Structure 1
Amino acid sequence: MEDKIRKNLEVQLSEVETLQSMYNPGELRVEDLNVLADVNAFVEGRAPDLPAYLDLTVNLLVDQHKFELCINLSHEYPDVEPDLFVRNHKLNKQQHAALNKDLGDYVAGVSRGEPCIFSAISWLQDNAQNYVVSEEVEERIEKDEALVRYWIYSHHIYSKSKRREIVDLAHKMNITGFCMPGKPGIICVEGTTSDCNEWWQTIKAMNWKRIFCKISEQCQDSGDGFLKFRTFEERVFQNSSIKCTHMNMGELYKFLDEHDCGYIFKDIFGVEVKPGPL
């Protein structure tokens, strides 16, 4: 298994090197150069521990429209599809979702075992403009001020670009809660129904292995005391500074309990919490 991972990472390094020769630093960005160094060290046998996943961002200008392609490469790539999604803040929710779905469908049709990032970039350059409307249409939606709280479960949340987008969009929409990265990934968002729905539709449109809203809570009264969090932040529950993988469930429960949400732990994980460390 380790030999196979090393072979996959060799392919990833070669692909990154090729992309770096084709794009300047303003167009192609390795999100964490330390991770790139760790991958090199592992491939060369200088480091025994598996490195974190590589995160790349490609900035493209297509017909004067700026698109950002965010890429996360697992240890299994290129034997599995890359985790990628496109951002363009001028696209509405429907356009954004359609673009990411169609790009995902295209990548899914590419033969596995071969690098496909350049193919994805080429597809985006050829097709991205088709998802941009020529005139902005402003939709007026009456705000539903009822309060809700969504508990969202993801198979994993590793990509730094996705993690940044989750937090930035929540701040932009005045949503509170938290995001726990790793495997599994847990997100709690709370706020008005319209704001939470818009945030969820945008985040759900990204390319995920599996993500769904597991529990939805609605305010049944005037709203006093319903909101449990004062802001939105990423929370990592680990005993050390090692790479973000599996979280400390005991620390997560303690955090939930401190915010009067300890009851939700059993509903999410199906485990009854007992006194003492988990």
Structure 2
Amino acid sequence: MSASPALPEALAATAEAVAAYIDAAIAQSGAPGERLASAMRHGALAGGKRLRPFLVIESAALFGVPAAAAMPAAAALECIHCYSLVHDDLPAMDNDDLRRGQPTVHRAYDEATAILAGDGLLTLAFEILAREEAGPDAEVRIALVASLAHAAGVAGMIGGQMLDLAAEGRFASGRPLDLPAEEIIRLQAMKTGALLRQACEAGALVGRATPEERASLDRYARAVGRAFQIADDLLDVEGEADTVGKAVGKDAAAGKATLVGKLGVAGARAELARLVDEAEAALAGFGSAATLLKEAARFIAARRN
């Protein structure tokens, strides 16, 4: 499952370009004073693989779209992802002190500033997509806004987070739920998978893909989304905090339902391998143009942080 040397270079180049774009967007956002803008930068620019924007850019590249043209959609999605991390880390949610090897935003600043910084990144995402630089065709920009809002909203990431909290026993009975595997898959497809699917959908929208091409990319993204979450759950079981960049062992402590818990470590690794094969098969029609996307699926399954 090892990645070729080209993938780390491509990920690094994307990460640098996306960070520069978001940094400039924050500078132009009109945030009053330095504290709010600084907290937004802490939440959005403090490292990270930028996997989601990479998927946007590489999906768009399948249709001949240059990286610069796909960058607004990629940066907007990353703003949404980073806002979600800022809010997930809050004491009322996951109560984490460490993110990407650094203090979480509410620890580096305070809870109120962290909430507003997350809100700022959320709204900045849609401001970016509304600008003409996101695409000269207004219909494409509207489609991108609708796609991102749906993936990030109650039918996607936010709804998945609510289901996750309920499964931990945060409400009603106060006891963790023993969810069946299919319910865990549904929860994770919303909480984690929705934004990964949107990444490929955004690239397809920018590239004006055919319905058949969009369907192939969606099959790839669904498999990658499930693989990402299983890999993340494995890291929580097997990883070291210094390597992972955040606290580990929290899923079991919270009684959180995961596929690793259902399948065991060996079973989870077997499912990861199957999902990588599924992701690669979905891209067969794109030929060598999809090489980096296939490498990304392997990278996701084998990641250590």
Tell me, yes or no, whether TM beats 0.5: no
User: What's the TM-score once normalised by structure 2's chain length?
Assistant: 0.29
User: What's the TM-score once normalised by structure 1's chain length?
Assistant: 0.31
Of Structure 1 and Structure 2, which has the larger fraction of its residues in strand?
Answer: 1
